[in-house]
Structure 1
Amino acid sequence: MKKNIAIVMGGYSSEVNISLKSGSVVYKHLNKEKYNTFRVHILKEKWVALDKNNQEYIIDKNDFSFILNGKKINFDCVFNSIHGAPGENGQLLAYFNLLNLKHTSAPFYQMALTFNKRDTLSVVKAYGIKTATSIFLNKGDKIDENSIIEKVGLPCFIKPNNAGSSYGISKVYDKEAILPAIEKAYAEDSEILIESFLDGKEVSVGVIQYKGKTKVLPITEIVSENDFFDYEAKYEGKSQEITPARISPEEKENVEKVAKKVYEILNMSGFSRAEYIFVNNEPYFLEINTVPGLTEESILPQQAQVAGISLEKLFDNAIQEALNK
């Protein structure tokens, strides 16, 4: 009997439209002969399932079901393609956990932890993973520009602590730009992170559970046309994403080892894509994305293709891994 699969997409953050694109690609590539697939829009104003004609059906939040042609549809598994809240920060997954409903992401605590950049850095640093020097601020904290410069130097990055897709991030070159950049970051989140600038080659490393084992995908080199890998560079073609990356065998070995270690330190499962910058051949961890972009143009699907894994196989594997948990 075919399994009923909910592909959740949308969300409550600035990344809602990106998530809708990712979810639509998953829906397109999941095998309809093997699964009954339904797109489920999780939006602030409504939770609805869509049929193939885009007819909407209200989701019953008591058990995450809906009625189709007089029949109640329950799901066997949820494919999580929500970037940001509430899919990537663990909230929705805690709800699924209460319902004993399987999903393609890591457990809700791991998702909440990795969505918080400060807490993620605290965990990986304790295991000897190299990172940039950083300062953490809560909204309302006193801001001392001179102390910031003294600790992290210039240029530096100012970013929201809980946000994705480079929303609210700034690269700051002088003291006068610090306060405006902080306000920009606070527009996305009440917690912000200020990090030292690392001058080196940036790479993105996908790590997934594939056929029951942790698999490091081919590495992608990021070459941004802009000052850094911002929203335009990520989503509007203002960057080159070169897979496999043009790095030395030593760099490749080092970053693969670190990426796998980070995945296991954080007790991850399902998809992940983390960013690193090389300083003297050593990878410095920046952040990890646990619901990375899943469109045909997105980095992790590009990496899977280079590894010989089609989108259908990539997405099918995620469902099978979830069902086998």
Structure 2
Amino acid sequence: MARALVAYGGRSLEREVSTRSGQQAAKALRTLGHAVDVVDVGADFVDVVQRAQPDFVFIALHGVGGEDGTVQDLLEILQVPYTGSDALASAICLDKHTFKSLCELRGVATPQWHSFTKQAFADYGAGKTLDALWQQFDGRMVVKPARQGSSFGLSVVQERAQLGGAVLGAMSYDDRVLLERFVPGRELAVTVLGPADAPEPLPPVEIVMADEYYSFQAHYEIGSSEVRLAGLSDAVDARVRAVAADAYRAAGCRDFARVDIRLEDETPWVLEINTIPGLTETGPTPLAAEHAGLSFPQLIERISARVVGG
């Protein structure tokens, strides 16, 4: 068996959830027979990796610093294998502007969108475009930071008077803001395993919540949302899995990721990819694995297979 170092925590807004994901992963890796150390990622991360000399690092970090290629770049310099997507795919997927541009280039269906930077808003009069954007999106849109996870800074805007405040709120999290057509319908999540050239989508799950959008609370707190098997018709299920696989392939993901989708009638629209989805007990990824016949340790084994075998 291998020596594994589980990296979790960090300094992102998703630190608490990352810690829970890492603890779950470490427990499963021990169940699989690996020798496991853990590290709460901080300024001593490189020192810890060099002292531990792991065969691989299991990355359970979420959000900025963990899913954006930062840690992945360091591990590539240190020549230590790690789970999950490489630095480039990680950076692409965390940046919604870049990811949605790639979707359009590769023909992956994603809702109509625009974005601008804080500098454009402050120095070049981007605020004067909000009326035109409101008309383009038929009076309903989603405003969110370009580089955040778990719906931090996200607003569903239903009145023109709310738009300016939503933009400023998103800018408090990032210097680029994404404005996207609101897609009515069902909130789906498709976990995908394997390499980019042979993606394996697991059964789609649905997130049902009182709130209209998948908030941070709904992501991770027991009782704040219901996560269940989507129960789609065979034709729609195949369509949803196919578009999730297309997005995973286009971004160059590997090992695992979660593709978030809105299903409008029977049309799936890709919203984003989480390259290190939550591994908490209430999350969509463990549930999808369960419906695919995988226990949690078996899921962790699949995620780690490339680096353990390599």
Q: Same fold (TM over 0.5)?
A: yes
Distance 1:241 1:235 in 2: 10
Match of 1:161 in 2: 146
The residue that corresponds to 1:139 in the other structure is 118
Output the CA distance in 2 between the equivalents of 1:150 and 1:191. Answer: 21
Deviating 4+ runs (over 3 angstroms)? none
- List gaps (5 residues or longer) in structure 2: 121-125
Using the alignment, how far apart are the partners of 2:23 and 2:37 within structure 1?
A: 10
1:24 paired residue number: 23
- 1:207-245 Cα offsets, whole Å, 9 max, x none, are 0118x95321111012221122112222233222111x1
User: Offset of 1:87 from its aligned partner?
Assistant: 1.6
**1:6-47 deviation digits (Å, cap 9, x = unpaired):** 10001221111110110011111213562110111103xx43
Indicate which of 257, 275, 295 corresponds to 1:290.
275
Counterpart Cα distance in 2 of 1:313 and 1:32: 10
Deviations 1:66-107 (A, max 9, x none): 3xxxxxx31110001000122200011011111111000111
Match of 1:248 in 2: 233
> Which of 23, 42, 47 is the matching residue for 2:44?
47
Consecutive unaligned residues in structure 1, runs of 5 or more: 49-58, 67-72
Larger Rg: 1
Matched residue of 1:103: which SS? coil
Residues of 1 paired with 2:54 and 2:5: CA distance?
Answer: 6
Please tell me the root mean square deviation across aligned C-alpha atoms, in Å: 1.8
Decide which of 30, 55, 58 is 1:76's aligned counterpart: 55
Alignment of 1:81-160 (within 5 A): 81-141=60-120, 142-144=126-128, 145-160=130-145
2:123 aligned residue: none
Alpha-carbon distance in 2 for matches of 1:34, 1:26 = 13
Give the C-alpha shift of residue 127 in structure 1.
Answer: 2.1
User: Counterpart amino acid of 2:34?
Assistant: Y
Aligned equivalents of 1:239 and 1:253: distance in 2?
25
Q: Percent identity?
A: 26
Aligned amino acid, residue 71 of structure 2 = L
Mapped to 2, the partners of 1:181 and 1:123 lie a distance apart of: 25
Q: Per-residue displacement from partner, 1:256-281 (whole Å, max 9, x unpaired)?
A: 11111211121110111111112241
Q: Determine if contact 1:293/1:300 at 8 Å carries over to the other structure.
A: yes
Amino acid paired to 2:127: I
For 1:214, the equivalent position in structure 2 comes to: 199
**1:69 aligns to what?**
none
Asked if 1:301 is matched to 2:286, the reply is yes
Please tell me whether the aligned partners of residues 15 and 83 of structure 1 are also in contact (alpha carbons under 8 angstroms): yes
Amino acid at match of 1:207: V
In structure 1, how many angstroms separate the alpha carbons of the residues matched to 2:263 and 2:300? 31
| Counterpart code for 1:288 | I
Q: What amino acid maps onto 1:217 in structure 2? A: L
Q: Kindly indicate which of the two structures has a greater share of residues assigned to strand.
A: 1
Whether 1:195 aligns to 2:180 is: yes
Q: When the two structures are superposed, what TM-score results if normalisation uses the length of structure 1?
A: 0.88
The correspondence for 1:239, drawn from 207, 225, 231, is 225
Instruction: Provide the rounded CA distance (Å) in 2 between the counterparts of 1:227 and 1:254.
Output: 24
SS state of the match for residue 17, structure 1? Answer: helix
Specify the alignment match of 2:242 in structure 1. 257
**3-state SS of the aligned residue for 1:83?**
coil
Please tell me whether the aligned partners of residues 7 and 39 of structure 1 are also in contact (alpha carbons under 8 angstroms).
yes
2:227 alignment partner, SS class: strand
SS in 1 for 2:6: strand
Q: Structure 1 residue 286: deviation in Å?
A: 0.7
Task: Give the CA deviation at 1:283.
Answer: 0.8
Q: Distance in 1 between matches of 2:70 and 2:270?
A: 25
8 Å Cα contact 2:255/2:304 also seen in 1: no
Count of aligned pairs between the two proteins = 302
Question: 1:146-175: CA deviations, max 9, x gaps?
Answer: 122022232211001000011110111111
> Normalising by structure 2, what TM-score?
0.92
Contact 1:203 1:219 in 2 (8 A): yes
- CA distance change for structure 1 residues 312 and 152 in 2, over 3 Å: closer, same or farther? same
Q: What whole-Å deviation, never above 9, does each CA across 1:164-221 have from its counterpart, x for those lacking one?
A: 01111011111111111111111111111011111122211110118x9532111101
Checking the alignment, whether the CA contact within 8 Å between 2:227 and 2:283 is kept in structure 1 is no
Give the match for residue 55 of structure 1: none
| Conserved 8 A contact 1:12-1:84 | no
Task: Check conservation: 1:154, 1:197, Cα contact below 8 A.
Answer: no
**Cα separation, 2, equivalents of 1:226 and 1:33:** 38
Give the alignment partner of residue 60 of structure 1, picking from 38, 42, 47: 47
